[in-house]
Structure 1
Amino acid sequence: MQDALAALKEKFGYSSFRPGQEEVINHLLNGENALAVMPTGGGKSLCYQIPALLMPGITIVISPLIALMKDQVDALNEEGIAATYINSSLSFPEIDHRFAMAARGDVQLLYIAPERLDSDRFLRELSSLNVSMVAVDEAHCISQWGHDFRPSYLTLTEAIAQLPSHPVVIALTATATRKVAADIRARLGIPDANEVNTGFARDNLSFRVIKDQNKDTYLLEYLKLNNDQSGIIYASTRKEVERLYHLLEANHVAVTYYHGGMSEGDRNANQEDWLFDRKPVMVATNAFGMGIDKSNVRFVIHAQVPGDLESYYQEAGRAGRDGLPSEAILLFKPNDLQIRRFFIDQSEMDDEFKQNEYRKLHEMQQYANTQDCLQQFILRYFGQTGSQPCGRCSNCLDERAFQDVTVDAQKVLSCVKRMRERFGKSLVAQVLTGAKTARVRELHLNELPTYGLMSSQTQSHINEFIDFLVASGYLNQGAGQYPTLSVSDQGVSVLLGKAQVQRKMAVKATKTLPVADDLFQALRELRTNFAEQQHVPPYVIFSDQTLRELAAQRPTTRVAMLNVRGVGQNKLDKYGDAYLELLRNWEQGADSSAAVANTEA
């Protein structure tokens, strides 16, 4: 591990490994397959990049999104590590040239898409290389129980087995339930004991759920208060992406957008504007973001509810990869669930798959309505128990006064009971509001004592209140496309007057992210200049965390700058003199200002 630590310091500028990294690297250097389950920003890539520098031969990295391979390779090249990629964006002569580079040992890492392994010709050429390791990124894509299953990943096991060099295999993912992790291990021949799971908690990420208010109003206010930050806003449909883009642009937000219906050229141009911080806010469908290493994303906002907690946590985790304080916000409206149910209904999967998707959507609905710690809720979903409240999420920090809603809860619970616990929330809401629909009359539900009991409220409001009662444990909700409601033991206590129900009310947008000070801003502008010159995203030069440490430590020599986290030898040689000059000039300016102030005093 001494060689591994030396490579970590020289190439990446870090003097110690993060939790789990050393254990994974040890497995690989000992010739053992391994699975790394680490949260986004937890340092998964280093788990194969460090061994790739120490092993003979070449490391093959299987990555699902070809549009991002160039960014990953550019980042490695900036660290002085020889890497390249092969995908469909290249011509045949370019592919042959890169294979020749790999055969000569001119590159240490080769990135490819999983679809490449379907080609017998490509496999034969790959077999001619001395492949020492295969890294399977976004490994949850191999499991049909995962949120992003991709059939192209199913050929990996057979393809890897055909390689005559018998490479060691590492699988990496940020989101894997116990069932998905077991599936990954089984498919890739990874011993159970070689799964390294560092937990799913993100100590720098604050989760928020915003309900009961106008989403557009909240979004505009939030972006106004945090106008110096970069972030992603997710929506479920192309139509909603474009609507939000035009809304924000009309309100003078520096925004761009991304979805599958755009031309490849427009998508790439918009992605580049965002990566280079020319337009720091991106509105996108969930087709955007996987594999992007942009480290200074300060917020991820879901303007519509995702289909499951795995997708949500992976997308939310794109905020704060550099370890600095960041936010993940869900703007929840129960009507958005209908879009997700439509997607499930229209899928061509079998009934078992659909029922599983409905179950996942129900968990997402529970998350949006719980009043417990949001991070604890997520950790429990992934099988991690025994955690403490995070102290950062909107529920932990919620200082809003409780409102007693016991009477309304009793009305809903009583209605569910009188409907013999055979129907779902939509019909319950219709009965409570006194709806005159054909189905209500046909089932004689208009004859119930609870019919019209809450006629002063809207059906959407009652639907939302039912969601709250389910999330709080007063109602049970069945599985499937049309889940029925039943009263829990806790709900029975409320009906009998033995317990009360309390609920908190709406919140306003606040400025909670850190403000960029003048020195940090100057360091960031210098980074932008270098990024534009070399045509790489700014975070490839230095992360925000590295810039903040430069601003705090203000090194005056190359040796001192090399001790700043994230500054390796290669980057010191490229950028060190310019940053040291900026810091010296800044100190001289500060000294001059202090002298003037003392003279005036």
Structure 2
Amino acid sequence: MISEAQQLLKATFGYGSFRKGQEDIIKRILQRRDVVGIMPTGGGKSICYQIPALMFQGVTLVISPLISLMKDQVDALEKVGVPATYINSSISAAEANERLNGAIIGEYKLIYIAPERLGSQLFLHALDRMDVSLVAVDEAHCISQWGHDFRPSYRLIKEMIDRIHSHPVIAALTATATPKVADDICDLLQIDRSDVILTGFGRDNLFFQVIKGQDRDAFINDYIKKNSAQSGIIYAATRKEVDRLHHYLIKKGFQAGKYHAGMAENERNENQERFLYDDLTVMVATSAFGMGINKSNVRYVIHYNLSKNIEAYYQEAGRAGRDGEPGECTILYSPQDIHIQKFLIEQSEMDQDHKDNEHEKLQKMVGYCHTEGCLQKYILAYFGEMDANDCGNCSSCTDERPEIEVTKEAQMVFSCIKRMRGKFGKTFIAKVLTGSSDQKIRSFGFDKLPTYKIMKGRTQKEVSEFIDYLTAEQYLSPANGTYPVLTLTNKAIPVLRGEEAVLKKEKVQAKQFVVDDELFEQLRELRKQIAVKEKVPPYVVFTDQTLHEMSAKCPSGQSDMLAIKGVGQRKWELYGEAFLEIILSYTAKGNLSGTT
């Protein structure tokens, strides 16, 4: 049976072999064994149920939490000749009824539904007349109250499955499940723990970095400028911050959209669609954006603010490089962000046990930003992979920036804060240190302090950034509040006494991390034209990974094209000759390969 699955993989989806874990999961499903698959984002979870769906007689139900994901998946399946549909709130009751009737008579191989649909009697009655062979639970961590995105409607899944007369196989799939959440999934869906397939959480194609104590706006401006051709997401913790950042990027001339729950639904949908179709290169958003977004060519994810926990961060960051091509994941760390997340936890409607659990998770997220070890190894250990090796690819593993001693400057800052009795914030401290003539300084008598204008050779902005660095390195502690005052921590005391030195590395410089060649750009332009004509996102036509392989290998005929990852028989029939024509034209001009 697995050989038939491999043939389908190549003929339908254009891939010559299964990725890690896919074959094990598919084998269990074909043996009619329930299974939990825990694979990293971009690991190919959808293939795990789509291949069995094509091999089973009946229909496969896919329970998915987001409307946008359903549409993307159905568009992609239709492009490779697989009959599929979805039922959610974006279609009328009449259309939903028509699609349900189609599923009953075997018109579709896969039907995607929102979990809330499980509470509909109309749907459940239709279900009684369907031949359901497989139920795939996507984003299965949503079923656990200990997961980072618990959805109460997911608790109805087992009840629904139990009423299906055909006793379908259950495949629960997720990218972010701690051991505790994985156990919860098994208990709630009654799946044996021996049928949990964990492929590992590592993402070799992603570069992780944490940047502390730098001007965040300046870094983002420089970064997007150097990577203007690439798609990226910038996450911020609040709607207000999203609005401010979006306005900032528009003023700088970038093609940026925004997304948060405070916007009108039609505006959110329009921005999301423009981003999916590559009409916008940057999306500034709260965490409300992105779960299940199938856009495979997101090249970078920047967290302007700290995530609430490692699960949320890894899922959001993992939206970069879903196609297997290089991606970058950056946190612009500011200690003040901790207070934002603590406030959001306390304002939530969770009971105290859950709040305590969330505070504990937040502390581990803060630990990630301060670890001097491998960043990916820290994440993998959080998910239970305690024996992981250093990745050799993150900012901790590759950092070769020289260190300079800044003990004297640190002592100036610490001494000033101590003399101001730890009752003021960063901006006011910087004004005192640089010798500002602010009337408020005089009213407090701070112009008489020995630390007044002791750093007059620096600008207020430079001193503020240095204070941010000292705070990020935990020499200073910000108190709660809108304008947090700074106090010295125990770590600062030996520095003040001259017993320990403070070392600071040079600023992290934004860089262009993907250099696309001329042929790739031509292929990307053709892909865009086809996508506009067919009204589908460009990556539904071909992924960046497929275009890069075409560009590198320069296929010269049909058999060569069918050997490219992502080019199956159906895709060749639809698009192959048009892409081949551009490649042959390019090579005929004397270019021996796709690189220039």
Please give the alpha-carbon distance, in whole angstroms, between the structure 2 residues aligned to 1:166 and 1:299. Answer: 42
2:78 aligns to what?
77
8 Å CA contact 1:222, 1:509 repeated in 2? yes
Cα RMSD (Å): 3.1
Whether 1:434 and 2:421 are equivalent positions in the alignment is: yes
1:111 aligns to what?
112
8 Å CA contact 2:26, 2:48 repeated in 1? yes
8 Å CA contact 1:37, 1:175 repeated in 2? yes
8 Å CA contact 2:216, 2:332 repeated in 1? yes
8 Å CA contact 2:210, 2:333 repeated in 1? yes
- CA deviation after TM superposition for structure 1 residue 341, in Å: 1.2
2:284 aligns to what?
283
2:434 aligns to what?
none
Please give the alpha-carbon distance, in whole angstroms, between the structure 2 residues aligned to 1:220 and 1:113. Answer: 38
1:543 aligns to what?
543
Classify the secondary structure of the residue corresponding to 1:17: coil
- CA deviation after TM superposition for structure 1 residue 468, in Å: 3.1
8 Å CA contact 2:104, 2:126 repeated in 1? no
8 Å CA contact 1:430, 1:459 repeated in 2? no
Classify the secondary structure of the residue corresponding to 2:85: strand
- CA deviation after TM superposition for structure 1 residue 556, in Å: 1.7
**Greater mean alpha carbon deviation, residues 396-405 or residues 39-48:** 396-405
8 Å CA contact 1:433, 1:459 repeated in 2? no
1:435-481 deviations in whole A, cap 9, x for unaligned? 359xxxxxxxxxxxxxx99998999977864653599xxx9xxxxxx
1:395 aligns to what?
396
8 Å CA contact 1:542, 1:566 repeated in 2? yes
2:364 aligns to what?
363
Alignment of 1:218-229 (within 5 A): 218-229=219-230
Q: Relative to structure 1, is the Cα distance of residues 134 and 244 closer, same or farther in structure 2, using a 3 angstrom cutoff? A: same
How many positions carry a matched residue from both structures?
551
2:92 aligns to what?
91
Please give the alpha-carbon distance, in whole angstroms, between the structure 1 residues aligned to 2:228 and 2:83. Answer: 38
Please give the alpha-carbon distance, in whole angstroms, between the structure 2 residues aligned to 1:319 and 1:454. Answer: 46
Please give the alpha-carbon distance, in whole angstroms, between the structure 1 residues aligned to 2:588 and 2:262. Answer: 53
Q: Relative to structure 1, is the Cα distance of residues 38 and 494 closer, same or farther in structure 2, using a 3 angstrom cutoff? A: farther
2:553 aligns to what?
553
Please give the alpha-carbon distance, in whole angstroms, between the structure 2 residues aligned to 1:50 and 1:432. Answer: 69
Please give the alpha-carbon distance, in whole angstroms, between the structure 2 residues aligned to 1:250 and 1:406. Answer: 38
Classify the secondary structure of the residue corresponding to 1:209: strand
**Residue 587 of structure 1 aligns to which amino acid in structure 2?**
T
- CA deviation after TM superposition for structure 1 residue 53, in Å: 0.6
Please give the alpha-carbon distance, in whole angstroms, between the structure 1 residues aligned to 2:390 and 2:525. Answer: 38
1:526 aligns to what?
526
Whether 1:156 and 2:157 are equivalent positions in the alignment is: yes
1:45 aligns to what?
46
Q: Relative to structure 1, is the Cα distance of residues 243 and 436 closer, same or farther in structure 2, using a 3 angstrom cutoff? A: closer
Q: Relative to structure 1, is the Cα distance of residues 312 and 276 closer, same or farther in structure 2, using a 3 angstrom cutoff? A: same
1:51-97 deviations in whole A, cap 9, x for unaligned? 11111101000000123311111011111111000111211221121
- CA deviation after TM superposition for structure 1 residue 411, in Å: 13
1:563 aligns to what?
563
Q: Relative to structure 1, is the Cα distance of residues 166 and 407 closer, same or farther in structure 2, using a 3 angstrom cutoff? A: farther
2:473 aligns to what?
468
1:347 aligns to what?
348
- CA deviation after TM superposition for structure 1 residue 120, in Å: 2.5
Q: Relative to structure 1, is the Cα distance of residues 175 and 432 closer, same or farther in structure 2, using a 3 angstrom cutoff? A: farther
8 Å CA contact 1:429, 1:462 repeated in 2? no
Alignment of 1:173-572 (within 5 A): 173-403=174-404, 434-435=421-422, 465=470, 468-469=473-474, 504-511=505-512, 513-572=513-572
Classify the secondary structure of the residue corresponding to 2:590: helix
Q: Relative to structure 1, is the Cα distance of residues 528 and 192 closer, same or farther in structure 2, using a 3 angstrom cutoff? A: same
8 Å CA contact 1:411, 1:453 repeated in 2? no
Q: Relative to structure 1, is the Cα distance of residues 579 and 461 closer, same or farther in structure 2, using a 3 angstrom cutoff? A: closer
**Greater mean alpha carbon deviation, residues 577-586 or residues 537-546:** 577-586
**Residue 375 of structure 2 aligns to which amino acid in structure 1?**
L
8 Å CA contact 1:365, 1:467 repeated in 2? no
Please give the alpha-carbon distance, in whole angstroms, between the structure 1 residues aligned to 2:416 and 2:186. Answer: 46
**Residue 388 of structure 1 aligns to which amino acid in structure 2?**
N
**Greater mean alpha carbon deviation, residues 171-180 or residues 397-406:** 397-406
Classify the secondary structure of the residue corresponding to 2:473: helix
8 Å CA contact 1:135, 1:171 repeated in 2? yes
1:559-584 deviations in whole A, cap 9, x for unaligned? 22111111001100000111111112
Please give the alpha-carbon distance, in whole angstroms, between the structure 1 residues aligned to 2:592 and 2:350. Answer: 70
Q: Relative to structure 1, is the Cα distance of residues 503 and 186 closer, same or farther in structure 2, using a 3 angstrom cutoff? A: farther
Please give the alpha-carbon distance, in whole angstroms, between the structure 1 residues aligned to 2:173 and 2:419. Answer: 49
Q: Relative to structure 1, is the Cα distance of residues 142 and 460 closer, same or farther in structure 2, using a 3 angstrom cutoff? A: farther
- CA deviation after TM superposition for structure 1 residue 290, in Å: 1.0
**Residue 6 of structure 2 aligns to which amino acid in structure 1?**
L
Please give the alpha-carbon distance, in whole angstroms, between the structure 1 residues aligned to 2:356 and 2:326. Answer: 37
- CA deviation after TM superposition for structure 1 residue 506, in Å: 3.0
Please give the alpha-carbon distance, in whole angstroms, between the structure 2 residues aligned to 1:433 and 1:396. Answer: 39
Q: Relative to structure 1, is the Cα distance of residues 409 and 48 closer, same or farther in structure 2, using a 3 angstrom cutoff? A: farther
Please give the alpha-carbon distance, in whole angstroms, between the structure 2 residues aligned to 1:177 and 1:294. Answer: 25
Alignment of 1:104-143 (within 5 A): 104-143=105-144
Please give the alpha-carbon distance, in whole angstroms, between the structure 1 residues aligned to 2:185 and 2:382. Answer: 18
Q: Relative to structure 1, is the Cα distance of residues 250 and 7 closer, same or farther in structure 2, using a 3 angstrom cutoff? A: same
Q: Relative to structure 1, is the Cα distance of residues 485 and 251 closer, same or farther in structure 2, using a 3 angstrom cutoff? A: closer
**Greater mean alpha carbon deviation, residues 297-306 or residues 88-97:** 88-97
1:579 aligns to what?
579
**Residue 41 of structure 2 aligns to which amino acid in structure 1?**
T
8 Å CA contact 2:212, 2:472 repeated in 1? no
Q: Give 5+ residue unaligned stretches, structure 2.
A: 425-448, 456-462, 478-486
**Residue 59 of structure 1 aligns to which amino acid in structure 2?**
T
**Residue 548 of structure 2 aligns to which amino acid in structure 1?**
R
Q: Relative to structure 1, is the Cα distance of residues 359 and 454 closer, same or farther in structure 2, using a 3 angstrom cutoff? A: farther
- CA deviation after TM superposition for structure 1 residue 335, in Å: 1.0
Q: Relative to structure 1, is the Cα distance of residues 590 and 305 closer, same or farther in structure 2, using a 3 angstrom cutoff? A: same
Please give the alpha-carbon distance, in whole angstroms, between the structure 2 residues aligned to 1:156 and 1:46. Answer: 21
1:444 aligns to what?
none
Please give the alpha-carbon distance, in whole angstroms, between the structure 1 residues aligned to 2:493 and 2:216. Answer: 34
- CA deviation after TM superposition for structure 1 residue 403, in Å: 4.6
Please give the alpha-carbon distance, in whole angstroms, between the structure 1 residues aligned to 2:495 and 2:341. Answer: 32
Q: Relative to structure 1, is the Cα distance of residues 163 and 492 closer, same or farther in structure 2, using a 3 angstrom cutoff? A: farther
Please give the alpha-carbon distance, in whole angstroms, between the structure 1 residues aligned to 2:20 and 2:499. Answer: 48
Q: Give 5+ residue unaligned stretches, structure 1.
A: 416-427, 438-451, 476-483, 594-601
Please give the alpha-carbon distance, in whole angstroms, between the structure 1 residues aligned to 2:500 and 2:21. Answer: 45
Please give the alpha-carbon distance, in whole angstroms, between the structure 1 residues aligned to 2:537 and 2:88. Answer: 21
Could you tell me the TM-score, scaled by structure 1's length? 0.85
Please give the alpha-carbon distance, in whole angstroms, between the structure 1 residues aligned to 2:376 and 2:591. Answer: 45
Whether 1:589 and 2:589 are equivalent positions in the alignment is: yes
- CA deviation after TM superposition for structure 1 residue 501, in Å: 7.0
Q: Relative to structure 1, is the Cα distance of residues 494 and 430 closer, same or farther in structure 2, using a 3 angstrom cutoff? A: closer
Whether 1:56 and 2:57 are equivalent positions in the alignment is: yes
8 Å CA contact 1:546, 1:564 repeated in 2? yes
